[in-house]
Amino acid sequence: MQLDTDALYKAANVDAKAPLLLAVDPGREKSGVAVMTKATATLVYKAIVPTAELETSLTSVLTQFKAINELICGNGTNHKFVFHILETLGKTQDLPVALAEEAHTTEVARKRYFEFHPPTGLKRLVPKGMLYPPVPVDDFTAWIIGEQYILGKKERG
């Protein structure tokens, strides 16, 4: 999969040399992937990938986003399998790999989804807490995992 990384950097208003973090929301069937700046957690790229194709997909992402210098895996469903993939990639690319807390990140991701895709029609009248996204939000969840990891790291100093 070839990405137009220049366009992605431009759309996110991010310098192509800014240090990036890659976060993964692990799952049995599908996993969310997000690439964000390490300084501000500004999203540069996100995707949902079949877990069976995750290693190939992440290798491609790492090749195309050369500024990625840390890999993060959420500690939820199937994290042991996915973390092993990240550890392997981390060793071959000489990148640190960490496991991150992902409690309640899916709920936050559902809310974030509607910030980017506001409800239309009669759904605008439904209380936001009762809305459920019409598509999987694993990519948003990966972003939240990475964002919380970055914020936690800043708090710890």
pLDDT in tens, 93-115: 999 999 999 999 999 999 999 99
CATH of residue 9: 3.30.420.140
Question: What pLDDT, on the 0 to 100 scale, is given for residue 157?
Answer: 64
The domain of 56 spans: 5-156
Dump pLDDT digits (tens) for 137-155: 999 999 999 999 999 876 7
What is the domain count for the chain?
Answer: 1
Neighbours of 89 (CB within 10 A): 19
Mean pLDDT of the chain: 95
Question: 98 phi and psi, to 5 degrees?
Answer: -135, 155
- Residue 104 is predicted with a pLDDT of 95
How high is the pLDDT of residue 2?
Answer: 87
pLDDT confidence tier of residue 21, bands split at 50, 70 and 90: very high
The single residue listed with the structure tokens 């790229």 is 45
Buried (b) or exposed (e) across 32-67, using 16+ Cβ within 10 A? bbbbbbbeebebbbbbbbebeebbebbeebbebbeb
What is the pLDDT, as a whole number, of residue 72? 98
Mean predicted confidence (pLDDT) in 69-95: 97
Residue 152 CB partners (closer than 8 Å, separation 6+): 100, 101
Q: What is the pTM of this model?
A: 0.94
| Contact by Cβ (8 Å): 103, 72 | no
